[in-house]
Amino acid sequence: MSSSHILKKDHLIPLLRKLGKAYRLVAPMQNRHGDTLFAEVASVETMALDLDHQPQESLKPFLFPQQEVIAAYEADQAGYALHPRYAAPPPTLYFGVRSCDLAAILYMDVIFSQRTREPHYLGRRHNTVLVGLNCNAPFPNCFCDATKNGPFSELGADLQLTDLGDRFLVTAGRAQGETIVSRWPQFFSAAEEAEIKKQYQLYLEARGGFQRQVHVDLAIRRLAEGMVDEAVWQQLSLRCQDCAGCAYVCPTCTCFTIVDQPRSATSGERLRCWDACTFAGFTRMAGGHNPVEPKKAAIKHRFLHKLKYDVEKHGRPSCVGCGRCLDICFGGTDIARFVELASEE
C-alpha cells in the first residue's frame, strides 16, 4: 500500500540537508557551463539543483560505470594471478529521477540478475534509495508515453514526487520511502483529497504535452510481423557514424567488454568498459570476417534488441523514450527516426 504526503517546497532544501547526512546524495545540478547532469552533492548550501531540465545523462554511469576495475592481475613467467576487486558502495540517495530513468533501472535490475548475479551493479543497487520526480511538462525529444513508462511513474521509486506548484505530493512506494517519511516526519503532512485529484489532473495534462509523435507500438508490431524492409536498415546504417554515442547515453544499453590494462611489465588491471553493438569490433571475428556488414546493418541489432527481442523476452521494449539518442546522434539515425521509417506502410 502506498501512502501520500505533502512536502512544502520551502522545506525541500532542509529535507535534503537531513538526507545528506544519512546518504551520499546525488541530484540533477547545473554546472558552470549550463549543462544539467546528475552529480554528487558536495554541499546543500551551494548546490545548483536543477529540476527544470532533463539531465543529459541517466543514472547509468552511477550504477554501471563506463569503466570499472573488476580485478587486479600479476603475471610473470611462472603464471598469473587474478585478484578480484570489489568496493562496497556507500548508501546513496538519488533525487529527482525521471520516469524514463526509473524504468531503465528496473530493466537493468533484470539484466544484471539473470542467471549469474552480477555483484558490482547489484551491490550498488541494494544500497540505493530512489526519489522520483514526475514530468508535468515533457521535454522536446521525449516520447515515454509511446514506450508506456511515463510521463508519471508508479513503479520503481522509494518516494515519488509530483510538483503541485508550491508543494510536492510525495508518494511512498517502497519500504525505504516509508522509512524516510517516518524518520523525518516533521517535513511531511497528510495529503488531502483535492491534492491527490490535482495530481491526476496534471498527469492527464502532461500526457497531452508531448511534442513528438513516435509510434513505437506500430514499429514493434511491424518488426514482430517481419514487415520492416531491408532498405530501412541499409538507409540508416549507411549514415551511422559508428560513434556509439547512442549506446553510451542510452539508459538501457548494458553491453560491456572486458580489457586488461597493463600498469607495469608484470601487473595491471582488468577493466569492464561499456561496449556498443554498432561497433564493427563488436561482431568481427578473429579471422577478420564480420557477420554484420557495417554499411548495411550496423544499427540493425540495436533496434531489434530494443523493440523486438526484449519485447519477446520481457514483454515490453527496452527503449524508455528518454530521447537522449536524438540529441547525440551525428547521422540522424536515432530510434525515433527508425520508428518513423519502420512504421511506413
Q: Which residues bind other proteins (CB under 8 A)?
A: 238-239, 241-244, 257, 259, 261, 273, 275, 279-281, 287-288, 295, 330-332
Nearest to other proteins of 119, 281 (CB atom)? 281
Contact 306, 319 (CB under 8 A): yes
Contact 298, 240 (CB under 8 A): yes
Minimum distance, C-beta of residue 190 to other proteins, in the bound complex (Å) = 46
Minimum distance, C-beta of residue 316 to other proteins, in the bound complex (Å) = 30
Q: Please name the amino acid found at residue 76.
A: D
Calpha distance 175→158 (Å, rounded): 7
The burial class, CB within 10 Å (0-12 / 13-18 / 19+), for 15 is buried
Calpha distance 35→20 (Å, rounded): 23
Nearest to other proteins of 154, 327 (CB atom)? 327
Minimum distance, C-beta of residue 338 to other proteins, in the bound complex (Å) = 14
Calpha distance 5→138 (Å, rounded): 24
Minimum distance, C-beta of residue 326 to other proteins, in the bound complex (Å) = 13
Minimum distance, C-beta of residue 331 to other proteins, in the bound complex (Å) = 6
Cα separations in angstroms, 340 against 121, 139, 145, 307, 326? 34, 19, 16, 13, 13
Q: Please name the amino acid found at residue 87.
A: A
Nearest to other proteins of 2, 241 (CB atom)? 241
Query: What ranges make up the beta strands (E) of the chain?
Result: 3-8, 24-30, 36-40, 67-76, 79-84, 92-97, 128-133, 159-163, 167-172, 189-190, 256-262, 267-274
C-alpha cell at 199: 495530481
Nearest to other proteins of 110, 280 (CB atom)? 280
Cα separations in angstroms, 243 against 37, 270, 275? 21, 24, 11
Of 158, 163, 156, the C-alpha closest to 203 is: 163
Calpha distance 117→111 (Å, rounded): 9
Minimum distance, C-beta of residue 272 to other proteins, in the bound complex (Å) = 12
Alpha-helical (H) ranges within 99-239 are 99-111, 119-126, 175-183, 193-207, 216-224, 230-239
Nearest to other proteins of 111, 243 (CB atom)? 243
Nearest to other proteins of 73, 279 (CB atom)? 279
Minimum distance, C-beta of residue 121 to other proteins, in the bound complex (Å) = 20
Nearest to other proteins of 155, 273 (CB atom)? 273
Minimum distance, C-beta of residue 249 to other proteins, in the bound complex (Å) = 16
Of 49, 15, 44, the C-alpha closest to 189 is: 15
Minimum distance, C-beta of residue 238 to other proteins, in the bound complex (Å) = 6
Nearest to other proteins of 100, 250 (CB atom)? 250
Nearest to other proteins of 11, 284 (CB atom)? 284
**Hey, is 166 helix, strand or coil?**
coil
Residues 6 or more apart in contact with residue 304 via CB below 8 angstroms: 223
